[in-house]
Amino acid sequence: MSVRLAPWPLPPQSLALRPAEVHVWRASLAATAPEVETLSKTLSPDEVRRAERFYARSDRDRFILARGLLRKILGRYLDMPPAQLEFRSGPNGKPDLAASRGRPALRFNLSHAQDLALYAVTLRREVGVDVERVSHDFVDLRLAERFFCPREVLALRAVSGDQGEAFSRCWTLKEAFLKAMGEGLAFGLDRFDVSAALESPAVLPSPAGWSRGAPRWSVQQLAPGPGYVAALAIEGVAGRVECWQWPE
């Protein structure tokens, strides 16, 4: 299974997000205590309370960094101080920006695994992103047989190399798809098939049971770095996907 190893350059000074584009940001969640403290001051009281629920300090710091960097990235598009952004939750808990008259209608999603975070940003279209550490020691496909579609299981069985990595790639594609739709794992991983996206970007129909006229979805793999796999899902045709490295 091949993945296009696109570079992740620093963003241009003048950043513009066009309707047909998707911007994906890669950021490190490894930071010093002063950096964590600085970003914590941009969070809302609710976010601070959520951070305090983590027992391990490393998990608490990663949450603060992930949310703080999300605020900084979105603030750059909206030309707003990060602390002034207001979030709301959708019907299934998917975060969204509160309506702001005169500002771009941004949609976003974030995912992180250990010290690596990905953020996807679009205009007016739902988006989902997922990143995972590769599990090389996975050798039993019974889990895939239980939860995945038959075509996905066949694709995994056809892999002659690292089936653990192949399973991780399939998992991220399905997670990104669910996140774009605003659904959780309880929706059912076997209700949609991402096997076409294991080789190249693909446009997939909405899952079985969705109403007629529901949107189609573009799904593709990303190359976040050694030891990680990632995927992006976007409502409609993805158009141009730009990948940026967060500079700080």
Q: What is the CATH number of the domain that holds 147?
A: 3.90.470.20
In a domain, 5, yes or no: no
Mean pLDDT lowest among 39-48, 117-126, 154-163, 216-225 = 154-163
Mean pLDDT lowest among 8-12, 62-66, 143-147 = 143-147
Handedness of CA 231, 234, 236, 238 (dihedral sign): negative
CA–CA separation, 242 and 20 (whole Å): 11
In a domain, 2, yes or no: no
In a domain, 227, yes or no: yes
Which residue type, as a one-letter code, is found at position 113? Answer: A
Beta bridge partners of 121: 23, 108
37 against 247, higher pLDDT: 37
Mean pLDDT of 218-247: 91
Mean pLDDT lowest among 76-85, 138-147, 190-199, 214-223 = 138-147
Contact 128, 120 (CB under 8 A): yes
DSSP-derived secondary structure letter, 198: G
CA–CA separation, 206 and 62 (whole Å): 33
137 against 30, higher pLDDT: 30
In a domain, 36, yes or no: yes
> Which residues span the domain enclosing 208?
22-245
In a domain, 187, yes or no: yes
CA–CA separation, 226 and 141 (whole Å): 24
In a domain, 15, yes or no: no
pLDDT of residue 7: 66
Per the confidence metrics, is the pTM higher than 0.85? yes
Closest Cα to residue 205, out of 229, 225, 233? Answer: 233
Q: Residue 166: which pLDDT band, with cuts at 50, 70 and 90?
A: confident
In a domain, 62, yes or no: yes
Mean pLDDT lowest among 19-23, 134-138, 153-157 = 134-138
Beta bridge partners of 117: 27, 112
In a domain, 51, yes or no: yes
Mean pLDDT of 167-192: 87
Residue 184 has pLDDT above 90, yes or no: no
Total number of domains in the chain: 1
Q: Residue 83: which pLDDT band, with cuts at 50, 70 and 90?
A: very high
Contact 68, 62 (CB under 8 A): no
